[in-house]
């Protein structure tokens, strides 16, 4: 089995020592059961912003694991036991067999959220979480994941099916329309990412997706420009956006996702 770390310059400098420690702890706790460690999210898509972005990591293991392994891994990685330099760490552990097949389910063995600006959470039951987060992340991991350790992402993480991806996008738009726990700028930019995916079949970083939507949708340009300006600021200094305008935009986004579903538009590589 190939065991290759990522090229060091592929990882943002602010995260390199931290992600090396994440891998080291995963190796120490999981031992021979560790298959792959993959950076997803903004790091994988080349748009990590220090002070704003969190860091998303997918871990694949060869189960069954010894009884306390997952709890031990959570304890080793929880901030501040391992200080997180990003706004937070969102780390998901999958069984190798589950990760290797397309699925619209959450399907994780462990989901850990930790860090200076994230509420601490650890779950060992995928029924506790909406599936769409994990479906989208596995698609990003399969297509663009940055290998930090072990086998390449495309070998171990399957691309979810088209119908499952569009269902996940619908759920994501509903989640961001509800607004609970989400910054206004992030709601707008995630909406742009959803529209851009429906149009192109590709995942793009939020800022690039926002620029593409703004170029084609003149009526939303002021809102998207305001969201981009806010996104340039640290998360704690994000600016407010007009609530009615955000809701109108997300209603339009929902219509674009529904249209993609109804049209049977292909989701490409």
- Domains of the chain (ranges plus CATH)? 13-155 (3.30.460), 162-264 (no CATH)
269 pLDDT more than 50: no
Phi-psi region of 41 (alpha: psi -120 to 50; beta: other; left: phi over 0): left
Phi, psi of 176 (to 5 degrees): -75, -25
Q: Report which of residues 161 and 261 the model is more confident about.
A: 161
Query: What is the pTM assigned to this prediction?
Result: 0.93
Phi, psi of 93 (to 5 degrees): -110, 130
Q: Would you state the pLDDT for residue 263? A: 78
% the chain with pLDDT above 90: 89
**For 99-122, b where at least 16 C-beta lie within 10 A, e where not — what string?**
beeebbebbbbbbbbbbeebeeeb
4 pLDDT more than 90: no
Q: Would you state the pLDDT for residue 230? A: 97
Q: How does pLDDT run across 93-110, given as a tens digit for each residue?
A: 999 999 999 999 999 999
Which range has the worst mean pLDDT, 2-16, 41-55, 180-194? 2-16
């Amino acid at each position: 089995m190939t065991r290759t770390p990522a090229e060091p310059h592929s990882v943002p400098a602010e995260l390199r020592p931290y992600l090396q420690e994440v891998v080291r702890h995963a190796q120490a706790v999981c031992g021979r059961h560790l298959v792959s460690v993959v950076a997803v999210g903004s790091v994988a898509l080349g748009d990590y912003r220090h002070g704003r972005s969190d860091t998303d990591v997918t871990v694949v293991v060869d189960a069954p694991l010894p009884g306390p392994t997952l709890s031990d891994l959570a304890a080793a990685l929880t901030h501040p036991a391992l200080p997180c330099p990003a706004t937070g760490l969102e780390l998901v552990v999958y069984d190798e067999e589950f990760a290797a097949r397309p699925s619209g389910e959450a399907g994780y063995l462990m989901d850990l959220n930790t860090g200076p600006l994230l509420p601490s959470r650890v779950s060992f039951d995928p029924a506790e979480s909406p599936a769409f987060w994990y479906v989208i992340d596995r698609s990003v991991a399969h297509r663009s994941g940055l290998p930090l350790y072990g086998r390449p992402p495309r070998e171990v993480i399957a691309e979810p099916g088209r119908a499952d991806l569009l269902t996940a996008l619908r759920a994501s738009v509903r989640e961001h329309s509800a607004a609970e726990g989400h910054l206004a700028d992030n709601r707008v930019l995630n909406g742009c990412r959803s529209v851009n995916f429906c149009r192109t079949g590709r995942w793009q970083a939020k800022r690039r997706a926002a620029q593409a939507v703004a170029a084609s949708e003149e009526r939303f340009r002021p809102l998207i420009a305001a969201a981009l300006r806010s996104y340039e600021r640290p998360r704690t200094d994000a600016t407010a956006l007009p609530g009615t305008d955000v809701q109108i935009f997300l209603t339009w986004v929902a219509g674009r996702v529904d249209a993609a579903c109804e049209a049977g538009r292909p989701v490409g590589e």
